[in-house]
Amino acid sequence: MARVKIIIFLIMLFSGFSATFAQLKESPIRVFGYFQNSFQHWTESLDHPAYNSFALQQLNMFLQKDLAKNWTAFVNFEVLNNFSSSRRWGSFNIEEAWVRYRASRQFNLKVGLLIPTFNYLNEYKNRTPLLPYIARPLVYETSFDEFIAIEEFLPRRAFVQAYGFIPSGKAKFDYAVYVGNSPNINDQFTNELYGEKQQTGIDTTTTFLLGGRLGLRYKELRAGFSLTHEKTNIFIPAAERLNEPVSKFQERPRVRLGADISYHLGDISFEGEYIGVFYDEGTETVEVDKRFLYGTLGWQTTEQLFVYGSYWYTLEHRVEAELDSSITKYTVDTNVITGGASYNLSDRITLKAQVARVDVSSNLPLSLFPGTDWLVYSAAISIFF
């Protein structure tokens, strides 16, 4: 009798496995991703010596599964800069974890952690084999996140986004609107603002990120305008320096304006973007504004070879007052002239080369190096797996 029970149990167990595997076959989890390994040589400048290094610049792994008719789940893991937790190198992030409901081409809804639509490149910057660059236009180069304030220029995370395409004759309009947390995320076990323990990774205010993009596609032309609005606490440290109440610098509005355009004429292509970051600081004694733009002219010389030239520019303008009533005004300009080539060895392997001249100038009053420039030589291999 015991043997009969064991046999029945095993039959039921393997039947369950069979049913599970049958479901997986009907709707398997799709696993795919991109990674880019690079070599860079930086020439000497006034503020750093010459150096060169290999790096696993970026790796993205995606999980995608159809849950039901019109419902899809998606997860995106991102690894940067030779990530090693034991060595404290680079970073590992969950960039996306959302579910999408697709009602039609005109209306889609994503709910969960997502990369919001802002200009065109923000959503596509992680597709390294599909982009010609090794180092992408500065504010899109996530491997530079440790020394460039990328999140001031770009919305990195949202949690609800509605989007779609609306045809109109030969043209097609696309739209996206989204909502997410403000930038005031608790990143420590003790919140310095309120002096109490709070859960990390959550918003410490009752405000939201609101944003969207409206775009047009007509034949070989693609263009769009983007806008975000949120409130930030980054000016709170100025309260102590200026001996003013903290409340004056809490939740100050920040607006990003963006524009993007691309056009193809045969084998020649152009794409460019503009981003402006504007703050309402709440006082005339503090002022911050930032700008970024880039333009890339490319030529598809053969089916496999693409060559390009590009110009990138960032500007940071600040006005700060001190307790002695003195006013400090300064700007930091970064100009990058770069060019390179990408060669599609196959549909999944892309070889790249790039050279860039970087010129940084500043009128910072305490700067020992008001202007400096250097060259960066790069080679990379990008893989789609």
Per-residue pLDDT of the chain (385 residues; tens, 9 = 90+): 444 444 444 344 444 434 444 444 457 999 999 999 999 999 999 878 999 999 999 999 999 999 999 999 999 999 999 999 999 999 999 999 999 999 999 999 999 999 999 999 999 999 999 999 999 999 999 999 988 899 999 999 999 999 999 999 999 999 999 999 999 999 875 455 555 667 889 999 999 999 999 999 999 999 999 999 999 998 888 887 778 888 888 999 999 999 999 999 999 999 999 999 999 987 777 888 999 999 999 999 999 999 999 999 999 988 775 555 555 677 889 999 999 999 999 999 999 999 999 999 987 665 555 678 999 999 999 999 9
Domain assignment of residue 11, yes or no: no
CA-wise closest residue to 227 among 137, 315, 119: 119
Under 8 Å CB-to-CB from 195, ≥6 apart: which residues?
none
Phi-psi region of 195 (alpha: psi -120 to 50; beta: other; left: phi over 0): left
Cα separations in angstroms, 191 against 181, 187, 207, 214, 281: 17, 8, 17, 37, 22
Domain assignment of residue 18, yes or no: no
DSSP string, 104-160: -SS-EEEEEEE----TTGGGTTT-GGGSS-SS-SGGG-GGGTTTS-HHHHS---EEE
- Number of folded domains that form the chain: 1
227/215 Cα distance (integer angstroms): 12
For 156-197, give the secondary structure using H, E and C.
Answer: CCEEEEEEEEEEECCEEEEEEEEEEECCCECCCCEECCCCEE
Domain assignment of residue 213, yes or no: yes
pLDDT of residue 327: 57
pLDDT of residue 220: 96
Domain assignment of residue 202, yes or no: yes
Token pair belonging to 260: 């993007």
Domain assignment of residue 133, yes or no: yes
Could you list the residue range(s) of the whole structural domain that residue 237 is in? 31-384
154/276 Cα distance (integer angstroms): 10
pLDDT of residue 369: 58
Q: 227-258: string of b/e by CB count within 10 Å (b at 16+)?
A: ebebbbbbbbebbeebeeeeeebbbbebebeb
Cβ–Cβ under 8 Å, residues 140 and 155 = no
Domain assignment of residue 19, yes or no: no
Cβ–Cβ under 8 Å, residues 371 and 363 = no
Under 8 Å CB-to-CB from 297, ≥6 apart: which residues?
268, 269, 270, 308, 309, 310
CATH of the domain at 325: 2.40.160.10
Domain assignment of residue 20, yes or no: no
pLDDT of residue 197: 66
367/365 Cα distance (integer angstroms): 6
Domain assignment of residue 17, yes or no: no
337/358 Cα distance (integer angstroms): 7
Query: How many residues are recorded in the chain?
Result: 385
